[in-house]
Chain A
Amino acid sequence: MNWEALVFTLFSPVIGGFIYGLERVVRARMQGRVGPPVLQPFYDFLKLMDKRSIVIHSFHAFMGIMYLVGTWFSLYVLLSGGDLLIAIFFHVLSLAFLVVGGFSVRSPYSILGAMRELLHMVAYEPLYVLTAAGLYLVTGTFQISEILNSNEVPLFVLPLVFVSILLSLPTLLKKSPFDIAEAHQEIIGGPEIEYSGKFYEAVYTAKWIEYVYVFFLIFLFGGGNHLLGAFLVLFAFFFFNLLDNVTARVNFRQMVAFHWYVLIPLVVINLMLLALWRG
Chain B
Amino acid sequence: MELKKFRKKSPWILHYNTGSCNGCDIEILACLAPKYDLERFGILNRGNPKQSDILLVTGPVTKRAKERLLRLYFEMPEPKVVVAVGACACTGGVFRHMYNVENGVDSIIPVDVYVPGCAARPESIIDGVVKALEILEKKKKEIELPPYCKVPEGEKLNRRKLLERCLEVINAGRRS
Contact = CB atoms under 8 A, between A and B. Distances in A.
A binds B: yes
B37 A50 contact: no
B97 interface: no
A224 interface: no
B10 A50 contact: no
Contact of A197 (B3, B46, B77): B77
A112 interface: no
Chain B at the A interface: SS class: loop
A185 B6 CA distance: 27
Contacts of A37: 42
Interface residues of B, number: 26
A50 B47 contact: no
Nearest to B33: A33
A196 B77 contact: yes
A20 to B, nearest CB: 13
Nearest to A186: B47
B87 to A, nearest CB: 28
A34 B42 CA distance: 11
B42 A50 contact: no
Chain A at the B interface: SS class: loop
A131 to B, nearest CB: 33
A34 B40 CA distance: 6
A40 B53 CA distance: 16
B78 interface: yes
A198 to B, nearest CB: 10
Given A46-B3, A188-B48, A200-B51, A52 B39 contact: no
A197 B79 CA distance: 11
Contacts of B3: 46-47, 49-50
